[in-house]
Structure 1
């Protein structure tokens, strides 16, 4: 009985009664629409994640076909060039190399591109790939150094983050929109009550006015 009473109190906006106003009906429908859209928000996040994943996987496949690992060899290192310049400079270079976590930063490397052209340049350490004692570089077909291709795990991680961000953003926009609509609805309801009180207050307490 108590449960039926609670359900009756909650559903009074859907039944015709003298106390129900148009704003009450609008508020009830707004709640239903909000619940339905909240069910759609995860689907929007899933769709966005799938779209991003397909795009990134296509980019990863394209990069893997366009980029190649080629063998590289050290031609000249800063420490060696400083040692041939002066003993004092060699000691300074060695001290600097010891302070730096990367003693091979700034070496001049030489590699042969897939089109069999020879290249020599100073290569940043982040572009190197080591397989045992062999040093490799990622290049395009002409031998220009390029970053490593996008791997599947990174693409999947970005897709998941994009899906979560889209779903969260959709839910946030939905909540903010509902709050704005509820605020405007409450303002209209208060204005209506104020007009009713202004109309009733003119006869309030007067004899024979029913007050």
Structure 2
């Protein structure tokens, strides 16, 4: 808004310099780009990210399968972690020796992390495996994919706005330098006696 006011103010001002008008136009173009290009870039990047992430969700759900595991015994805990955030998250899970049947029908066993606070032998829990029974991470869900895509879109919009503002600042800096150069030239033309040349003093 300030850019538009500045442009209108300088259009008919007799003291207006060419650099003043250029600076006002640069500001107007920057405002227009931030208002239009940044949201469009955010929508485009967010939409493309969402499509790619949802395809990844579909692929993961095809390749990963939820199976039932049976606890054989609890495995001793690793050394105490001083970080309270990771240790509190770990308190809700236990490392156990378990057995499970893969989607292809083969039997497997190994040490896994189970969502059990105090597991006992014979307890059952859910885990994710690939077709061959190897334990894999839980697949991404639609809500998480959409959130990641929205964050990517917001990040793209902010990046475009920052880029436009950065270019505007560089342009204004160059305009100011040029203005200072012209002032120096004008002072050089005025002479060494500050305008008293030819007054007889």
- TM-score normalised to the size of structure 1? 0.73
Gaps of 5+ in 2: 77-89, 117-122
Q: Between Structure 1 and Structure 2, which shows a larger proportion of helix residues?
A: 1
The one-character-per-residue Cα deviations of 1:39-66 (angstroms, maximum 9, x if unpaired) are 2111111211111111111100110011
Residue 207 of structure 1 is matched in structure 2 by 198
The one-character-per-residue Cα deviations of 1:183-206 (angstroms, maximum 9, x if unpaired) are 111111011011011102357212
CA contact (8 A) 2:41 2:157 kept: yes
Residue 46 of structure 1 is matched in structure 2 by 43
CA 1:47–1:34: 2 relative to 1, 3 Å: same
Task: Determine if the alignment matches structure 1 residue 23 to structure 2 residue 40.
Answer: no
Residue 63 of structure 1 is matched in structure 2 by 60
2:8 to 6, 11, 26: 11
CA 1:208–1:77: 2 relative to 1, 3 Å: closer
The one-character-per-residue Cα deviations of 1:12-34 (angstroms, maximum 9, x if unpaired) are 5445x764433233213212211
2:181 to 186, 191, 204: 191
Q: Secondary structure at the match of 2:70?
A: strand
C-alpha separation between the residues in 2 aligned to 1:125 and 1:112?
A: 16
CA contact (8 A) 2:128 2:135 kept: yes
Residue 101 of structure 2 is matched in structure 1 by 112
Q: Secondary structure at the match of 1:190?
A: helix
CA-CA distance at 1:134 after TM superposition: 4.5
Residue 174 of structure 1 is matched in structure 2 by 164
CA 1:198–1:188: 2 relative to 1, 3 Å: same
- TM-score normalised to the size of structure 2? 0.76
CA contact (8 A) 2:38 2:161 kept: yes
Residue 69 of structure 2 is matched in structure 1 by 72
CA-CA distance at 1:168 after TM superposition: 1.3
Q: How many residues align?
A: 175
CA contact (8 A) 2:71 2:124 kept: no
